């Protein structure tokens, strides 16, 4: 039987349901407005970006970006450390009595460059893009002191080489090497040798005492690739040929524009290897000079490091590989044989036990079964050392893998060292 309370409850729920439907309809009506408020600014930004956008060409190489130079643009040459394969101890360039700028400005270096010992600084070598220069004088040292002469002689004796940088390319000497191709024909290949020697040792007279001579004249050859459309150029090579020459000049010495008699383009006098060399001795007068020659090249900017990274000896050393593999296999076999004999003897002894009393006696490998799961002393320190060693080893192999795959650009000096260190 339906009571008045039943009809009251029914009327209450009906009113509540009606109010909920009205609220939902009102909310649905407001959602398009809210969406419009959010979407309209986004659409306006996209349309504006498409209207004002211009076509562009992108280029990416990890760690370096190309630099375009117009005619007569000033190109800055920097100096780096002095290195030697005999001592493995680098020196800063200005620790030697070379021509110094005022002030000396150090370039920012990353962690890898610091670990390698690079010290990149500015220099007095000034040049303009695509403008040849002949017989430019850097500075003149009136007289070498005994200490300065000794420094030069020591560096020449230890075969130190000077390193310079131009547009992120290291200076190199050209070496033409003769190799054989796959068909047995002789092929000449152009290779680079990083840096140039501080000097050389030679005897003035046949059979006489050897003396040290200084490379005080540099002939730079800058290879550039020119864009025919924009007339802009990119540097793709930085070569040097060092000379040792005892410069002579017209008196009096002019600090601004001195006149050399041993190197004068107006008189068609150029530096050659046949001139008298600059000897290193106390009291010697030294004049530093340089030439700049520009040559157009077909090498693209992205391929300018190919000559630096060219392998001179591309033959596979099969004998060394097989020798190493044989040594590893022989040592592994010896260790496996010793362990097999030891285990075989212990297992045979265990199988020959007849009584339970003999089985209870521990021998062989059973003597250390209690030490396997025993907590060692300073276990925390051991865990730290093992974990750190594994992490360093893993980081090293991962970094080398990325370097082999080409993810670390050779133009980014110290990139591999920084990656390993980090």
Q: In this predicted structure, what is the pLDDT of residue 204?
A: 79
CB 96 within 8 A of CB 161: no
Query: pLDDT per position in the chain (422 positions), as tens?
Result: 445 444 444 544 555 555 556 565 554 554 444 444 444 555 555 555 555 555 544 444 444 678 899 999 999 899 999 999 888 789 999 999 999 998 999 887 777 777 777 889 999 998 999 999 999 999 999 999 999 999 999 999 999 999 999 998 999 999 888 777 667 778 888 889 999 999 999 987 777 789 999 999 999 999 999 998 898 999 999 999 999 999 999 988 888 889 999 999 888 889 999 999 999 999 999 999 999 999 999 999 888 988 888 755 545 567 778 888 999 999 999 999 998 888 787 777 666 655 555 555 555 666 666 666 677 788 888 888 888 888 888 888 888 787 777 667 666 777 666 666 66
Q: Give the 3-state secondary structure of 54-120.
A: CCCCCCCCCCCCCCCECCCCEEEEEEEEEECCCCCCCECHHHCCCCCCCCCCECCCCHHHHHHCCCC
Predicted local confidence at residue 36, as pLDDT: 43
Q: What is the structure's pLDDT at 354?
A: 53
pLDDT at 32: 46
pLDDT at 57: 45
**Cα 79 from chain centroid (whole Å):** 16
Predicted local distance difference test score (pLDDT) of residue 15: 53
């Amino acid at each position: 039987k339906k009571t008045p309370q039943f009809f009251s409850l029914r009327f209450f729920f009906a009113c509540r349901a009606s109010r909920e439907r009205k609220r939902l309809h009102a909310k649905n009506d407001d959602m398009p407005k809210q969406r419009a408020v959010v979407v309209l600014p986004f659409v306006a930004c996209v349309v504006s970006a498409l209207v004002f956008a211009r076509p562009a060409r992108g280029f990416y190489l990890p760690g370096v970006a190309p630099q375009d130079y117009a005619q007569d643009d000033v190109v800055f040459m920097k100096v780096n450390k002095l290195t030697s394969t005999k001592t493995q101890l680098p020196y800063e360039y200005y620790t030697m009595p070379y021509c110094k700028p005022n002030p000396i400005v150090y370039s920012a270096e990353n962690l890898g460059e610091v670990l390698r010992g690079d010290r990149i600084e500015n220099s007095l070598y000034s040049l303009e893009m695509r403008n040849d220069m002949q017989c430019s004088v850097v500075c003149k040292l009136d007289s070498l002191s005994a200490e300065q002469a000794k420094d030069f002689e020591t560096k020449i004796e230890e075969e130190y080489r000077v390193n310079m940088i131009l547009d992120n390319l290291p200076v190199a000497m050209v070496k033409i090497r003769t190799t054989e191709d796959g068909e047995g024909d002789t092929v000449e290949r152009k290779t680079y040798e990083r840096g140039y020697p501080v000097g050389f040792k030679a005897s003035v007279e046949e059979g006489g005492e050897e003396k040290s001579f200084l490379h005080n004249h540099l002939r730079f050859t800058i290879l550039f690739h020119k864009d025919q459309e924009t007339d802009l150029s990119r540097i793709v090579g930085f070569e040097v040929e060092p000379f040792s020459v005892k410069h002579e000049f017209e008196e009096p010495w002019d600090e601004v524009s001195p006149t050399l008699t041993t190197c004068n383009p107006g008189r068609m006098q150029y530096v050659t290897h046949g001139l008298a060399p600059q000897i290193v001795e106390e009291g010697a007068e030294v004049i530093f000079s340089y030439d700049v020659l520009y040559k157009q090249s077909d090498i693209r900017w992205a391929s300018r490091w190919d000559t630096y990274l060219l392998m001179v000896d591309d033959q596979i050393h099969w004998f060394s590989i097989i020798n190493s593999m044989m040594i590893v296999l022989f040592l592994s076999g010896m260790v496996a044989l010793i362990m097999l004999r030891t285990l075989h003897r212990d297992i045979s002894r265990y199988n020959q036990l007849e009584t339970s009393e003999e089985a209870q006696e521990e021998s062989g490998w059973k003597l250390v079964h209690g030490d396997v799961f025993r907590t060692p002393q300073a276990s925390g320190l051991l865990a730290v050392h093992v974990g750190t060693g594994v992490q360093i080893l893993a980081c090293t192999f991962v970094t080398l893998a990325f370097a082999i795959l080409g993810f670390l650009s050779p133009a980014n000096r110290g990139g591999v060292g920084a990656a390993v260190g980090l």
